[in-house]
Amino acid sequence: AGVFTYDPGFTSTASCDSTITFIDGEKGELLHRGYPIDQLASKSHYLEVCYLLLYGELPSAAQLEDFESRVTNHTMLHEQMHFLFRGFRRDAPPMAIMVGVVGALSAFYHDSTDITDPWQREVASVRMIAKMPTIAAMAYKYTIGQPFMYPRNDLDYASNFLRMCFAVPSDDYEVNPILSRAMDRIFTLHADHEQNASTSTVRLASSSGANPFACIAAGIACLWGPAHGGANQACLEMLREIGTVERIPEYIARAKDKNDPFRLMGFGHRVYKNFDPRATVMKQSADEVLDLMGIDDNPTLQVAKELEKQALADPYFAEKKLFPNVDFYSGIILEAMGFPTSMFTAIFAVSRTVGWISQWKEMIADPQLKIGRPRQLYVGAPKRDYVDIENR
């Protein structure tokens, strides 16, 4: 026996020390290595933020160039992996393919991931950040029956991803710089978020010393659920289902009804209780993208804006401190870019990979590292004697 603190959902348990990300949920503040997310989203770009998360400081121009060249060196996926893709059904959700393919990287790199060796940890980290966009884009191409596009290393991270998703070998696809900037911002805003469910999953899986690629696959699995990364897909599907502003009150009433399991997707957060600073930037970005693309009558955006207004004016949401989170507006941007909803969470997984890796690196290097092993309060049957099958 023993006396343990009971904390379902870990609402008041810190699982580690960390120097990577700070969140003040009351103030709606998110800092990476001390830098506010709104400054990073407007002044920096994804690969620079990756460097900051991984190494603790903003890079000099030479350090950034070196990091970008190391990442671009690893963007290709081994040709043999193509066979793995071909084993999936065409209608498989891209997230299902990603869980499998990223897990399978552990089979490719089983001999070069001695996690006690800092150099090998470094190579594994760069490989993962470099290959995730390629894997996500291949998952998409596979499900729509188009040929895989190889990465182009003269393009920046976001442009390369958009090209791998939307180009076909026979055309001269030009990446729209507005969309590329918006894509980069989506990556940046999702890069890390301290000990959320998928990051905690990666830490717990890695605490046993397991292969890092397999641990990231575990993180992708956790991210998939609608309460976490899957909320971006669920949110856009909900906005489409609502369809017109006239129907909003009906959905708000459903979200408030305790006998109805329906929740407003893209609303609420475990830590943010005033606003989600990522949502503020995302909303601006959605406006910019639709404006620059000349889409001024997007019905989904109109429903989103009106839903936000009505929910925020409703005492139920005010009392429970429920506000739009990062995923409330991201789907509108991704939809305008041409992504199907099934790709939304896969894109979140690409972005969050650097957070998972940074947290993994920090944990592995921690001299206090112990295997994660929660305890429980046992509430089952008391000790009893085995009963032979004929006597049951």
Q: Determine, following the binding rule CB under 6 A, whether residue 70 of this chain makes contact with ligand CMC.
A: no
Nearer to ligand CMC, 74 or 263 (CB): 263
Contacting range for ligand CMC; rule: CB under 6 A; set: 100-108, 133-141, 224-232, 355-363: 224-232
Q: Determine, following the binding rule CB under 6 A, whether residue 110 of this chain makes contact with ligand CMC.
A: no
Token pair listed for 341:
């909803």
Distance CA 345, CA 95 (A): 7
Distance CA 177, CA 155 (A): 11
Q: Determine, following the binding rule CB under 6 A, whether residue 263 of this chain makes contact with ligand CMC.
A: yes
CB of 193 to ligand CMC, least distance (A): 6
**CB under 8 Å to 392, separation ≥6 — which residues?**
none
The count of residues interacting with ligand CMC (CB under 6 A) is 21
Nearer to ligand CMC, 231 or 304 (CB): 231
Using alpha carbons, select from 76, 57, 59 the residue that is nearest to residue 127.
76
Q: Determine, following the binding rule CB under 6 A, whether residue 231 of this chain makes contact with ligand CMC.
A: yes
Token pair listed for 339:
């992504």
Distance CA 44, CA 48 (A): 7
CB of 8 to ligand CMC, least distance (A): 10
Write the binding mask 4 to 43 for ligand CMC: x where contact by CB under 6 A, - elsewhere: -----x----------------------------------
Q: Determine, following the binding rule CB under 6 A, whether residue 264 of this chain makes contact with ligand CMC.
A: yes
Distance CA 51, CA 354 (A): 9
Distance CA 265, CA 304 (A): 11
Nearer to ligand CMC, 54 or 264 (CB): 264
CB of 249 to ligand CMC, least distance (A): 14
Orientation angle between helical segments 231-242 and 299-312, nearest 10 degrees: 100
Give Rg (Cα) of the chain.
22
The residue annotated as part of the active site, out of 45, 190, 228, 269, is 269
Assess whether 269 carries a catalytic annotation.
yes
First-to-final CA distance of the chain: 29
CB of 261 to ligand CMC, least distance (A): 9
Distance CA 133, CA 346 (A): 9
- Active-site residues, by number, are 269, 327
Binding site for ligand CMC (CB under 6 A): 9, 193, 196, 227-229, 231, 255, 263-270, 320, 322, 325-327
